[in-house]
């Protein structure tokens, strides 16, 4: 009887495993992860630049405003992707913050990122954001394998 209870518990654990662990990452999920990670990178750089006395916040905030819908859509998509996995989304966003929050920066890098933010603020189309996110985050930090092309 005890073996039956243990077997049932193990079966429940396997059946309760997150679906995403078995699914591949489709293009929409990869695009959302790139945009999410790019947003985390830009936020961290903005904070690091401010810490060394270079304020890129106006360009960063203008970029956020111009692409608010795309950033919100990426966030919603990834929350849905992580749904049913406890605090997986919180862990994911914390990992992104930790990845980009550390490290050193200098005024030249701050100006480069300010230029990227200002350019994106002037181009509010989703394609522009997608191209920049792809260029800056070729391989997002989202676990899983990429789906094969059809």
State the pLDDT at residue 85.
Answer: 81
When pLDDT is cut at 50, 70 and 90, the band that residue 12 belongs to is: very low
pLDDT of 9 higher than 60: no
When pLDDT is cut at 50, 70 and 90, the band that residue 3 belongs to is: very low
Q: What percent of the chain has pLDDT over 70?
A: 83
DSSP 55-91: --HHHHHHHHHHTHHHHHHHHHHHHHHTTTSTTHHHH
DSSP 146: B
* pTM of the complete model: 0.80
Dist. CA 117–CA 48, nearest whole Å: 15
Residues 6+ apart with CB under 8 A from 53: none
Is the Cα dihedral 108, 110, 112, 115 positive or negative? negative
């Amino acid at each position: 009887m005890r073996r039956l209870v243990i077997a049932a518990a193990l079966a429940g654990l396997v059946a309760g495993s997150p679906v995403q662990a078995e699914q591949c990452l489709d293009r929409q999920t990869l695009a959302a992860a790139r945009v999410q990670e790019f947003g985390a990178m830009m936020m961290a750089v903005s904070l690091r630049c401010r810490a060394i006395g270079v304020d890129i916040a106006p360009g960063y905030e203008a970029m956020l405003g111009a692409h608010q819908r795309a950033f919100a859509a990426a966030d919603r998509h990834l929350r849905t992707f992580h749904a049913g996995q406890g605090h997986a989304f919180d862990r994911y966003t914390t990992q992104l913050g930790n990845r980009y929050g550390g490290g050193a920066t200098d005024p030249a890098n701050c100006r480069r990122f300010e230029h990227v933010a200002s350019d994106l603020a002037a181009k509010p189309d989703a394609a522009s954001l997608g191209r920049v996110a792809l260029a800056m985050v070729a391989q997002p930090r989202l676990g899983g394998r990429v789906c094969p092309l059809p």
